[in-house]
Amino acid sequence: MPKLDELKNISGKGHFYMPTPKLVMLGGLMALGILILGGVIGKSFVDYRKDVLTEDVRSRLEILSKGRADVVAAWLDGLKAVGGHITGADVVRLYSTEISLANALGEAGKDKLNKSLLAQKPYMQHTIKEYVRQNNLVQAMMVSDQGQIFLSSLDQPQLSETQLQGVVKVLERRQPIVFPAQLSSGQLLMDIYKPVYALEEESKSPRIVAVMMSTFKVGNQMMEMVATDQLSLDGERIFLMQESDHMIENIMTGDIPALQKLAENALDPFWLGNAGFDAHESVVDGSVVFGVSTDVASSPFVILHEYERDEALYPLVEYAQTVYATTLMIVAILVVSMTSYMVYVVGSRNRRRVTMQQQSMNALVRATEIRDPYLTGHSERVAKLALAIANKMDMNVAERSTLYYAAMMSGIGKIFVPREILNKPGKLLAKEKKVLHEHVNHALNVLQDSNFDLPIDEAISQMYERLDGSGYPNKLAGKEINELSRILAVCDVYCALVQPRSYRKEVPHVKAMTTFEKDADKFDSQVVDVLKHVVASE
Amino acid sequence: MMRNLLLLITFLSFVPALAQAQNLFGSIEFRAASLEALPKWTTVLKKVSLEQHLFNECDENLKICEPASLAAWRKFIQEHKGQVNQDTVQALNDFINQWGYVNDIQNWGVSDYWATPMEFLNRSGDCEDYAILKFVALKELGFPADNMRLVVVQDVVREIAHAVLAVYLEGEEPLIMDSLFNVVLPHTEVLQYVPYYSVNETTRWAHIMPHRD
């Protein structure tokens, strides 16, 4: 229920009140709640899409990376097969076996072979040279199982420590080995070592008597390995990397090839393992990418397939915009619908409330009517007069309604006052006055539990106070008395004066006004002035 | 196929060849009296000498000789003893080529096994097994072992390794006894083989094809 001092602020057409700030706040909170909920739902859609998109990226990269690794493996298989005509040729195997044996044989044995081997050597050398020429190799050589070069395409061949260790590796692993690419004179070169088997029973795992080393120029082919094709998307990159000396190296093909050295575990984030798939910093240039790396089987090489994160998730941007726009639209529709509904409900509740309150008030007024018709007539007259004054003072609906109902129900309390006291013509005794003055409390008691949405009880409780403090029940003075009660006070007294009583005739208007002048310190002079005007215009 | 032929020929080629006589299949030969690097061959030779008594026993009584293939072979030997000439060689090739080809994986479960005469007579075999039996047979017929060689070649048409027996009759170009082809031809008329090495009981030859212009 609004307080008296709030009445001035209340406006409205025929309603006692519009939704209170509390209700507005509630509405606002709900709207905010819906907005947040909408945001959360929207975000979950976007997140889900992001997950789907990321998963798509993962499987695409996995397939492409593996595919490219298979291409590299096939290329390497082809290279490993080069020279098979030589390592598998029985005459070469015989020669290599005899070279290897020559050391182990005694003088006699060596003697028998050496002449033939010596005579054969230039032809074998020529063979190697032809092989190098035919396959556009850099060089090739045959190294015995004792680590001696016995055939070479170069006139002055050299065997480095690393190369010797490579020979040992082949002897151990018994299969062709591809070595990491090296840079030499601005070219990318790669060695492949192939075993040469003795002419022995193959089932007995024949001895390896020699290793053929072929050095390939691989720059151009490696460039093709990492080339993107029509199926590639913007932002996709492919890298060929190799493990060399416990480091990862990025093979940079191009006009000036290079080997970019990376940490041993540089590719770890890009292994598909148990950890979730996510974007990481590229090892090559630090941009944020999704990536999958795949080992190329039986080789030191690794394919790294990258996809720039922003490119990959680009469809998400548009999707997110759509989702949030839709969510916003839905939220707006919801909020507007809810608000209109609330306003409608509140409005109709208001109307019902007002109606019910009016009905209750009317019932109470009728109760006093039945008890004392004089009181009723008086209350009505006071109400009318108060309204007229209120109109003249440009008061709002709430104020006028309060005045009206306060005036109408001001007499409720007097029901409980004995008639003899009420209608006593002469001055009242002190104890009679006390009983009479109780009527305010009675009225308040009756109205206590009623919730009329108007400060009717306040208005009634102060209308018998006087500006000079001579009123009752609380002897309020001056500003303590609210405006409405001042109006009611004037009206109540005026109507009582101009109404004939059993014990006196009606007091004429002019004389009544004089009374107010005489008691100017009791009554609001402004209200009295308005009263003058109101009565004059009737 | 042509590429392989070229590849192989160039691989085994040598520019300005020696003016010397070119030998088997037109190759350049390097001989050494050492069989150290050829254990498969030396093993077979040993096993053959161990089987000799079986041949002798069979010879003594052909009628009860078992198995029948051994008996048939000994019969052939007995019928053709005497001077070995081109006809004999041809007849022998026809005879032994009757045995059907069985590859080593099927026969022995390994990729390359050199069978003894008894093993071949019982189970048949592949190219070198024919050559081995022909070698032993010619020896039995009295032909000098020094004038024969088992030759391991690359068949450039079929792109696989192969083995034949080269028979050097007096004053003639060596004849080729091939398991794939009954007709015995001089090596000059057999064009699809590039020799790797050849071998007999005492000697091995390494072969390189000269560059053909």
- Which range scores top for mean pLDDT: A196-200, A229-233, B82-86, B177-181? B177-181
The first and second tokens of residue B176, run together, are: 């080729």
B11 touches chain A (CB under 8 A): yes
A130 touches chain B (CB under 8 A): yes
What residues have CB less than 8 Å from B170, skipping those under 6 apart?
A: none
Helix residue spans in A372-396 (DSSP H): 373-392
pLDDT in tens, B6-34: 666 655 554 444 334 468 999 999 999 99
Query: Least CB-CB distance to A116: which of B14, B31, B39?
Result: B31
Mean pLDDT of chain A: 88
B19 touches chain A (CB under 8 A): no
Confidence of residue A26 (pLDDT cuts 50, 70, 90): confident
> How near does any CA of chain A get to the CA of B178, in Å?
19
pLDDT in tens, A359-387: 887 888 788 777 777 776 888 899 999 99
Task: Write down the residue that tokens 């290079």 correspond to.
Answer: A258
Q: Return the minimum-mean-pLDDT range out of A1-5, A94-98, A447-451, B82-86.
A: A1-5
Asked if A203's CB is within 8 angstroms of B110's CB, the reply is yes
pTM strictly above 0.90:
no
pLDDT in tens, A482-492: 999 999 999 99
Q: Which of B41, B46, B196 to mutate to test the interface with A (most CBs of A within 10 A)?
A: B196
Instruction: Quote the CA–CA distance of A409 and A454 in Å, as a whole number.
Output: 13
Q: Which residues 132-171 in chain B show a CB within 8 A of chain A? A: 152, 154, 161
Task: Give the per-residue pLDDT at A274.
Answer: 64
The CA-CA-CA angle for residues B70, B72, B76, to 5°, reads 115
Confidence of residue A202 (pLDDT cuts 50, 70, 90): low
Chain B residues whose CB is inside 8 A of the A115 CB are: 32
Q: Which of A482, A481, A479, A473 is nearest to A437 (CA)?
A: A473
A4: exposed, middle or buried (C-beta count within 10 Å: 0-12, 13-18, 19+)? buried
A464 touches chain B (CB under 8 A): no
Instruction: Quote the CA–CA distance of A260 and A181 in Å, as a whole number.
Output: 12
Q: Is the pLDDT of residue A224 over 70?
A: yes
> How near does any CA of chain B get to the CA of A101, in Å?
8
Task: Give the per-residue pLDDT at A505.
Answer: 84
Task: Give the per-residue pLDDT at B16.
Answer: 42
Chain A residues whose CB is inside 8 A of the B113 CB are: 201
> How near does any CA of chain A get to the CA of B125, in Å?
16
Q: Return the minimum-mean-pLDDT range out of A184-198, A199-213, B41-55, B170-184.
A: A199-213
> Who has greater pLDDT, A200 or B125?
B125
The first and second tokens of residue A184, run together, are: 């030499």
Query: Least CB-CB distance to A130: which of B13, B28, B37?
Result: B13
Query: Least CB-CB distance to B40: which of A91, A131, A200?
Result: A200
- Within a 13 Å sphere around the CA of B205, how many CA atoms are in the beta-carbon half? 23
Task: Give the per-residue pLDDT at A11.
Answer: 53
